[in-house]
């Protein structure tokens, strides 16, 4: 038994385990030293975690768009980050007008809903048009072809929106209601209304999506198409419609995520989609691409790591300006996880299908 | 074939073209190029107007293509209708914004008075718009008319117009090139007007010559390629060999003299193309041959460049005497090769998109580490590395584009040669087997670990070579030059050129790197056009320009299988 | 049918040939060029060709577009030079070294170009300046601030700039913090760009020389959005002032999030001219109230600046995007003035511009009344009138952006 095991363990495996263990050792050592130094109070860690969760919620919402499309078409919709940008960038003008008319201060929730509806409408339209014009004709092409199309579409959308609305930074209105803080009594551990809003909305959207995919008729059709397009078509499912719906749902989620992002960070501009897009895609892969709970998990994981990682791991190692390396940490974590679980945290089902 | 008039198709064609026309206006392209002349002198036609009216050409084209009319008159009618609709849509934009109360510009930043002045040809609003609509309709009508000509003439006319547009757009470059030719270049001065733009005579001449040559060829030159091929095949083996080496020799001579003919700037463009082609050839090994999707390829390029920088720059080098380019080059290649293996090991078990994202992460990690304050004393941080040694042969410093050209050319030739030999080697076949099906390949006795690692290592070395030359060419490097976007560019040129095929990579880099580089003056809209071009290219020719025979068969087979 | 067409074709060709022949043989100008770097000859009706090398596409484009607009307004104002229209063409540089090199090579290959306004980023200028200098041309940068570009050991003969050297601005802020705010502990943040990194280094050195302590030198990425972790880190070192000379987006995030961090509620926030614009107020929101910016002293700006802003807004439908539009305007105007000084005009209107003469004229610029002050060029090409002032934000309504030293001005000049 043991001998058999030994024979199966190759040099490469050993090397990988060494890399993995080394990384883990570094993380543990760094964290231990940071915590031992007592540089940061526990409430600071708590605050950072809350920030991380809020950020992760936004990543998760965008990641759902990637994962939905991937689950059905097996394609990376690179232009999804631009779908995410299009919503809040367009809705800014509504938000600004509402703010100038004073509605944002008087009824923040209603105004926010209006802005969100517009953002969702725009993002959905862009996503559906994208599918109709750029992806549908390529349904049967080899996998890399739609990827390149998506990259092209991404450039096109970015620079079209820049051309239409200009390249400057635009700031969303802010009201006291959004900025109010709720603190744990007697401590400095606080959470702002925006953060609560972001987290609640993210969780709600994810639950709703899960229910949609699990229990509605079109959701079932989506799952059927994701299993096998041809058989689904033979069973009388309109594949084109299902795919268009998938894009629409992904777009709507991105529209919501966009407004939440704008609430949290206040700035919108034409380039804002790129980085969250890459991060969300990473989150989707981290959780196991094509898997809805996986996307949520991946997003939260990434958000928290970004918020905590630099201060926790690198501070103790004595590295200057560690925050600069936060993406490096996030990606190292990704590599680490994929070393031990090559198909992401929850991504088993797809592995068998040769992702 | 319909016998009745299909108005709906014409309406749709008009609407589509109208939307694209509005988009072009509102992103600011029309206004931005309104001052640039395509044709100068008395009959001034600006590039902006040309862009606008290209949409009416599109309207005419779509109207004819969408509706399969039998009667030519219906075609003309459909074209005219589509043109009318699309230009009316543009005119409507101006009309909406005309009253004082409406201010589109608060939202749409490019709905400027400048644009409206262009759209109305500087006339009072209503008469100007009338002119716009009439012109648009006429242009669509003419397009439809050209399209129903016999194919031979249609091709000649469209080629003539395409060449005319190209010459008009690249006029600055051509002018510079001609001045480099001395007295010979004087011959071409009549082509251009003083204030910019082609002269009317020049424009007509370009159109007539390009179209006419095409027409003549279609009459007398049909089947030339087949005849040549047949002639070559009819030669005895020794003769065929001679022809082969002769053509290679001829190509070498042509490549050797290119920089003298085209001048400095195009040589610079060729150098950039060469560097990307080197990377493309490397990525071709990884993605094209072995099927391992790598999105962080720029990391190896960066490692090659940084190794060169650290070893040769006196400002930062840890060595007492910084190395020269040639001494440092092997280290650059070695560093890239090793990093290829180091990346390769952890990702051996990951496949497909998981692999893509891990490699993407690797690329970002490398860039961030070079940028970080942490390693600033060793690699310069945000300040980058300056004073990197230029390459030197004997006493000749290779700093000018025309000199560097030969360094890059030789590197490209070596890498092309190695790629070609690898492709048909045992290893190359093993890569292709892994690409087709990893599990089956392993079952057939292919050692997966070494095969994959060799692919990563080979690809990384090529990129390292490219990076080393890049560093010495620039003289200074910064972490910002190694963005994720570059990995994506390389992947794009690979797929647009035709994956798995060495000439395809060269064509891809010429198209995707060379053309945008030549169009640098269209700066602001470069990425927009680039994006559209990528999409259109993929929609119309998914297998790339020059695909590998095997890959093309696979693409075709897959399409048929999937659509069956 | 086909034969007729061919006949027509031949006929057309014949016409072309005759017309060409007619155009040949125009009389040559009698001007003899004695300039060591050669001359640019501009025939009557031909434009004076100026080029820009700027980053006009991509994430850093607001910097480049802003300066390009500045040049365009200068051309609108100038209209023509000695009866010749002005042609502006340009190349995108992408804010990276290879973009700068490619753009410079392209410009260097075009002999009709008289002078260049550019580049934007210092990383572009390092490879571009030698190429432009070797081609005998001259470039005036509106926004390069890296000290080494005009360092006597590294200066290229065809390079000048109207932007102020980082050494001046970083030191000014350090002095302000020490003398006016009387802070003893400061932290810095840069964004990995050459400009910000350089500025914070200068600031840190000067501040230490004055006797202060630098508690932390942190870095972020320009695309980062969540700055709380880095701010928490800084808060742990208890600084009295945070200096982050970065750009609008990231600067906005730092400003708006700093106040949320326990321990940073009362810290002074200070930034530099990269964020000195109404767009920054939009981005940072109410949190920007009370923060400090070092920037060229608008009080010392020429009277034309108000007019200029007006023109900018009408032409482009927006307020300035970045702080260097006026520097670009000055750079262009300086070039035009120098051309007018050295150009030799033939009776028929042909202009001859000696390249070395143009360079000499530019380096000899003295007391040039520009928008950014009175420009005087040093032998190594530093032409800026480096009057740096510190402004405080009194109001966070971007529409009320009106920097100056008056009572209702916002931001208000408070030092020196």
Q: List pLDDT tens digits, range C390-407.
A: 999 888 887 777 777 777
Q: With an 8 Å Cβ cutoff, is C102 touching chain B?
A: yes
Give which of B22, B361, B544 to mutate to test A binding, by max A Cβ within 10 Å. Answer: B361
Q: List alpha helices for C52-185, DSSP H.
A: 61-78, 97-108, 122-134, 166-175
pLDDT digits (tens, 9 = 90+) for C194-234: 888 889 999 999 999 999 999 999 998 888 888 888 898 89
pLDDT digits (tens, 9 = 90+) for C251-283: 888 998 888 888 888 899 999 888 887 778 888
Contact criterion met (CB < 8 Å) for B345 and A140: no
Rg (CA), chain B: 27
Give the closest-approach CA distance of B554 to chain A in angstroms: 9
Q: With an 8 Å Cβ cutoff, is B28 touching chain A?
A: yes
Beta bridge partners of B526: none
Give the closest-approach CA distance of A38 to chain B in angstroms: 23
Contact criterion met (CB < 8 Å) for A51 and C279: no
Q: With an 8 Å Cβ cutoff, is C242 touching chain A?
A: no
Nearest residue of chain A to residue B364 (CA atoms): A328
Q: With an 8 Å Cβ cutoff, is C126 touching chain B?
A: yes
Residues of chain A with pLDDT under 70: 1-2, 5-9, 348-355
Contact criterion met (CB < 8 Å) for B362 and A285: no
DSSP state of B151: H
Give the closest-approach CA distance of A240 to chain C in angstroms: 35
State pTM to two decimals. Answer: 0.86
The three-state secondary structure class of B554 is helix
| Distance of alpha carbon C320 from alpha carbon C311, whole angstroms | 11
Give the closest-approach CA distance of B47 to chain C in angstroms: 14
Give the closest-approach CA distance of B252 to chain A in angstroms: 33
Angle at CA C70, nearest 5°, toward C69 and C76?
Answer: 85
Nearest residue of chain B to residue A153 (CA atoms): B531
What is the interface size between B and C, counted as CB pairs within 8 Å? 133
Q: In chain C, which residues have their Cβ closer than 8 Å to the Cβ of A261?
A: 225
Give the closest-approach CA distance of A244 to chain C in angstroms: 31
> Which pLDDT score is estimated for C29?
46
Closest CA to A71 of A192, A189, A203, A245: A245
Residue B557 token pair: 């087979």
- Distance, first Cα to last Cα, chain C: 85
Tokens 């009138």 label which residue?
C385
pLDDT (average), residues C296-309? 77
| Distance of alpha carbon B274 from alpha carbon B288, whole angstroms | 19
DSSP state of C410: B
DSSP state of C146: -
> Which pLDDT score is estimated for B172?
76
pLDDT (average), residues B326-344? 92
> Which pLDDT score is estimated for B195?
66
Contact criterion met (CB < 8 Å) for A170 and C282: yes
Of all helices (H) and strands (E), which one includes residue B152? helix B151-169
* Whether B324 contacts B312, CB under 8 Å: yes
* Whether C115 contacts C137, CB under 8 Å: yes
Contact criterion met (CB < 8 Å) for C226 and A315: no
> Which pLDDT score is estimated for C115?
93
Could you say which of A151, A164, A334 has the minimum Cβ distance to residue B534? A151
* Whether B118 contacts B44, CB under 8 Å: no
Could you say which of B195, B268, B382 has the minimum Cβ distance to residue C45? B195
The three-state secondary structure class of C215 is strand
Contacts with A, B 211-270, CB within 8 Å: none
- For A61-117, give the DSSP string: HHHHHHHHHHHHH----TTHHHHHHHHHHHHHHHHHHHHHTTHHHH-HHHHHHHHHH
Could you say which of C45, C127, C217 has the minimum Cβ distance to residue B194? C45
| Distance of alpha carbon B28 from alpha carbon A36, whole angstroms | 58
pLDDT digits (tens, 9 = 90+) for B450-493: 899 999 999 999 999 999 999 998 888 888 888 888 888 898 88
Q: In chain B, which residues have their Cβ closer than 8 Å to the Cβ of A10?
A: 449
Q: With an 8 Å Cβ cutoff, is A86 touching chain B?
A: no
pLDDT above 80 for B550 = no
> Which pLDDT score is estimated for C333?
93
> Which pLDDT score is estimated for C94?
81
DSSP state of B198: B
Q: With an 8 Å Cβ cutoff, is C265 touching chain A?
A: no
Give the closest-approach CA distance of A174 to chain B in angstroms: 20
Weakest mean pLDDT among A314-328, B173-187, B387-401, B457-471: B173-187
Contacts with B, A 56-85, CB within 8 Å: 70, 76
> Which pLDDT score is estimated for A271?
85
> Which pLDDT score is estimated for C21?
45
Whole-number percent of chain B with pLDDT over 70? 96
Residue A270 token pair: 């034409």
Q: With an 8 Å Cβ cutoff, is A41 touching chain B?
A: no
Q: With an 8 Å Cβ cutoff, is C232 touching chain A?
A: yes
Q: In chain C, which residues have their Cβ closer than 8 Å to the Cβ of B172?
A: 89, 110
> Which pLDDT score is estimated for C356?
93
> Which pLDDT score is estimated for C26?
44
Give the closest-approach CA distance of C57 to chain B in angstroms: 5
Burial bucket for residue B545 (CB in 10 Å: 0-12, 13-18, 19+): middle
pLDDT (average), residues B95-120? 81
Contacts with B, C 243-272, CB within 8 Å: none
Query: Could you tell me the pLDDT band of residue B564, with boundaries at 50, 70 and 90?
Result: very low
Contact criterion met (CB < 8 Å) for A19 and B369: no
Contact criterion met (CB < 8 Å) for C219 and B372: yes
Contact criterion met (CB < 8 Å) for C229 and A275: no
Give the closest-approach CA distance of C395 to chain A in angstroms: 15
Name the residue with higher pLDDT: A160 or C247: A160
Q: With an 8 Å Cβ cutoff, is B373 touching chain C?
A: yes
Q: With an 8 Å Cβ cutoff, is A4 touching chain B?
A: no
> Which pLDDT score is estimated for C23?
44
Give which of B93, B103, B346, B559 to mutate to test A binding, by max A Cβ within 10 Å. Answer: B346
What is the interface size between A and B, counted as CB pairs within 8 Å? 178
Residue A35 token pair: 């915590």
SS (H, E, C) B268-314: HHHHHHHHHHHHHHHHHHHHHHCCCCCCCCHHHHHHHHHHHHHHHCC
Contact criterion met (CB < 8 Å) for A148 and B538: yes
Query: What's CA C346's distance to the chain center, in Å?
Result: 34
> Which pLDDT score is estimated for C50?
92
The number of residues making up chain B comes to: 564
Give the closest-approach CA distance of C415 to chain A in angstroms: 28
Name the residue with higher pLDDT: A130 or B65: A130
Please, which chains are in contact with C (at least 3 CB pairs closer than 8 A)? Answer: A, B
Give the closest-approach CA distance of A230 to chain B in angstroms: 9
Q: In chain B, which residues have their Cβ closer than 8 Å to the Cβ of A79?
A: none
What is the interface size between A and C, counted as CB pairs within 8 Å? 107
Name the residue with higher pLDDT: B381 or B68: B381
Contact criterion met (CB < 8 Å) for B109 and A166: yes
Closest CA to A194 of C255, C256, C252: C256
Contact criterion met (CB < 8 Å) for C123 and B478: yes
């Amino acid at each position: 038994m043991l001998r058999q095991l030994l024979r199966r363990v190759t040099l490469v495996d050993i090397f990988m385990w060494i890399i993995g263990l080394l990384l883990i050792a570094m993380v543990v050592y760094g964290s231990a030293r940071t915590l031992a130094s007592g540089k940061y109070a526990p409430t600071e860690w708590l605050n950072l975690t809350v920030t991380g969760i809020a950020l992760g919620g936004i990543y998760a919402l965008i990641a759902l768009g990637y994962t939905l499309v991937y689950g059905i078409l097996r394609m990376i919709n690179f232009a999804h980050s631009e779908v995410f940008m299009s919503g809040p960038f367009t809705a800014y003008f509504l938000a600004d007008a509402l703010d100038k008319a004073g509605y944002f201060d008087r009824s923040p929730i209603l105004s926010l809903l209006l802005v969100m509806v517009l953002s969702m409408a725009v993002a959905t339209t862009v996503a559906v048009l994208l599918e109709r014009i750029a992806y549908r004709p390529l349904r049967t092409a080899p996998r890399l072809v739609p990827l390149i199309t998506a990259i092209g579409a991404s450039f096109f959308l970015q620079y079209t929106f820049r051309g239409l609305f200009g390249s400057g930074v635009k700031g969303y209105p802010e009201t006291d209601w959004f900025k109010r803080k709720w603190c744990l009594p007697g401590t400095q551990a606080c959470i702002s209304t925006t953060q609560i809003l972001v987290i609640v909305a993210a969780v709600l959207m994810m639950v709703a999506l899960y229910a949609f995919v699990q229990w509605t008729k079109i959701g079932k059709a989506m799952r059927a198409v994701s299993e096998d397009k041809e058989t689904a078509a033979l069973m009388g499912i309109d594949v084109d419609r299902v795919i268009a719906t998938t894009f629409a749902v992904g777009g709507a989620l991105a529209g919501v995520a966009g407004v939440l992002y704008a609430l949290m960070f206040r700035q919108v501009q034409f380039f804002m989609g790129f980085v969250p897009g890459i991060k969300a895609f990473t989150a989707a892969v981290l959780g196991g691409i094509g898997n809805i709970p996986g996307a949520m998990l991946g997003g939260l994981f990434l958000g928290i790591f970004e918020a905590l990682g630099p201060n926790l791991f690198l501070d103790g190692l004595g590295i200057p300006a560690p925050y600069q390396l936060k993406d490096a940490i996030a990606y190292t974590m990704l590599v680490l996880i994929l070393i031990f679980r090559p198909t992401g945290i929850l991504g088993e089902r797809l592995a068998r299908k040769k992702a | 074939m319909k016998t009745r008039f299909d108005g709906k198709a014409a309406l749709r064609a008009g609407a589509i073209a109208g939307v694209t026309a509005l988009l072009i206006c509102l992103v600011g392209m029309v206004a931005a190029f309104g001052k640039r002349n395509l044709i100068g002198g008395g009959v001034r036609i600006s590039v902006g107007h040309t862009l606008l009216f290209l949409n009416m050409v599109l309207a005419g084209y779509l109207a004819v293509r969408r509706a399969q009319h039998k009667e030519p008159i219906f075609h003309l009618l459909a074209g005219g209708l589509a043109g009318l609709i699309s230009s009316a849509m543009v005119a409507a934009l101006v009309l909406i914004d005309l009253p004082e109360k409406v201010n589109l510009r608060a939202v749409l930043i490019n709905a400027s008075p400048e644009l409206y002045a262009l759209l109305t040809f500087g006339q009072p609003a209503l008469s100007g718009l009338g002119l716009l609509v009439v012109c648009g309709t006429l242009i669509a009508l003419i397009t439809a008319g050209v399209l129903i000509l016999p194919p031979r003439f249609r091709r000649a006319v469209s080629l003539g117009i395409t060449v005319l547009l190209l010459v008009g757009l690249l006029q600055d470059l051509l002018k510079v090139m001609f001045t480099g030719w001395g007295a010979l270049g004087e011959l071409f001065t009549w082509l251009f007007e003083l204030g910019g733009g082609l002269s009317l005579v020049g424009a007509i001449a370009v159109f007539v010559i390009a179209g006419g040559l095409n027409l003549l060829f279609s009459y007398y030159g049909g089947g030339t390629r087949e005849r040549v091929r047949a002639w070559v095949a009819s030669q005895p083996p020794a003769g065929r060999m001679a022809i082969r080496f002769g053509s290679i020799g001829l190509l070498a001579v042509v490549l050797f003299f290119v920089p003298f003919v085209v001048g400095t700037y195009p040589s610079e463009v060729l150098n950039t193309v060469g560097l990307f082609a080197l990377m493309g050839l490397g990525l071709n090994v990884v993605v094209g041959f072995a099927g391992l999707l790598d999105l962080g390829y720029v990391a190896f390029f960066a490692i090659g460049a940084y190794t060169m920088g650290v070893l040769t720059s006196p400002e930062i080098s840890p060595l007492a005497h910084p190395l020269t380019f040639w001494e440092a080059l092997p280290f650059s290649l070695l560093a890239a090769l090793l990093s290829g293996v180091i990346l390769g090991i952890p990702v051996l078990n990951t496949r497909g998109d998981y692999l893509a994202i891990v490699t993407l992460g690797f690329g970002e990690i490398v860039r961030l580490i070079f940028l970080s304050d942490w390693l600033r004393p060793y690699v310069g941080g945000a300040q980058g590395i300056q004073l990197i040694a230029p390459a030197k042969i004997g006493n000749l410093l290779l700093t000018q584009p025309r000199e560097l050209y030969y360094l890059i050319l030789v590197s490209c030739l070596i890498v092309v040669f190695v790629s070609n030999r690898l492709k048909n080697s045992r290893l190359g076949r093993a890569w292709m087997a892994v690409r087709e099906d990893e599990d089956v390949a392993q079952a057939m006795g292919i050692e997966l670990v070494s095969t994959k690692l060799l692919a990563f290592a080979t690809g990384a070395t090529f990129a390292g070579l490219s990076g080393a030359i890049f560093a010495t060419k620039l003289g200074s490097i910064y972490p910002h030059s190694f963005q994720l976007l570059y990995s994506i560019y390389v992947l794009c040129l690979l797929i647009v050129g035709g994956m798995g095929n060495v000439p395809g990579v060269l064509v891809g880099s010429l198209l995707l790197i060379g053309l945008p580089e030549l169009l640098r003056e269209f700066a602001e809209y470069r990425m927009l056009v680039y994006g559209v071009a990528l999409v259109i290219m993929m929609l119309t020719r998914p297998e790339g320009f020059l695909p590998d025979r095997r890959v093309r068969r696979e693409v075709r087979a897959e399409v048929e299988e999937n659509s069956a | 049918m086909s034969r007729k067409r061919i006949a027509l074709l031949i006929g057309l060709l014949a016409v072309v040939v005759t017309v060409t022949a007619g155009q040949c043989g125009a009389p040559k100008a009698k001007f003899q060029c004695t300039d060591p770097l050669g001359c640019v000859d501009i025939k009557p009706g031909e434009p004076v060709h100026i080029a820009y090398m700027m980053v006009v596409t991509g994430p850093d484009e607001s910097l480049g577009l802003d300066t390009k607009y500045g040049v365009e307004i200068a051309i609108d104002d100038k209209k023509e030079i000695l009866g010749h229209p002005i042609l502006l063409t340009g190349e995108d540089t992408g804010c990276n070294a290879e973009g700068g090199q490619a753009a410079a090579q392209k410009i260097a290959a075009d002999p009709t170009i008289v002078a260049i306004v550019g580049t934007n980023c210092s990383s572009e200028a390092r490879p571009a300046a030698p190429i432009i200098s070797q081609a005998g041309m001259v470039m005036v940068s509106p926004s390069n601030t890296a000290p080494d570009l005009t360092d006597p050991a590294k200066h290229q003969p065809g390079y000048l700039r109207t932007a102020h050297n980082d050494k001046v601005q970083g030191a000014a802020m350090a002095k302000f913090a020490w003398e006016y705010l009387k802070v003893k502990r400061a932290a810095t943040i840069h964004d990995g760009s050459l400009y910000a990194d350089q500025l914070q280094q200068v600031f840190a050195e000067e501040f230490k020389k004055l006797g202060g302590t630098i508690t932390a030198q942190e870095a972020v990425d320009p695309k980062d959005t969540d700055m709380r972790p880095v701010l928490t880190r800084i808060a742990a070192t208890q600084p009295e002032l945070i200096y982050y000379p970065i750009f609008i987006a990231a600067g906005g995030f730092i400003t708006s999030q700093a106040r949320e961090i326990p321990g940073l509620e009362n810290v002074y926030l200070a930034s530099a001219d990269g964020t000195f614009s109404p767009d920054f107020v939009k981005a940072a929101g109410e949190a920007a109230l009370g923060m400090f910016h070092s920037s060229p002293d608008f009080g010392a700006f020429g009277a034309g600046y108000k007019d200029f802003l007006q023109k900018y807004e009408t032409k482009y439908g927006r307020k300035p995007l970045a702080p260097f539009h006026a520097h670009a305007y000055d750079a262009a105007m300086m070039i035009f003035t120098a051309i007018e000084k050295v150009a030799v005009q033939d009776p028929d209107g042909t202009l001859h511009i000696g390249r070395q003469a143009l360079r000499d004229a530019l380096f000899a610029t003295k007391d040039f009344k520009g928008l950014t002050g009175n420009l005087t060029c040093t032998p190594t090409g530093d032409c800026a009138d480096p009057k740096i002032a510190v402004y405080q934000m009194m109001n966070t309504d971007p529409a009320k952006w009106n920097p100056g030293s008056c009572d209702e001005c916002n931001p208000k000049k408070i030092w020196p």
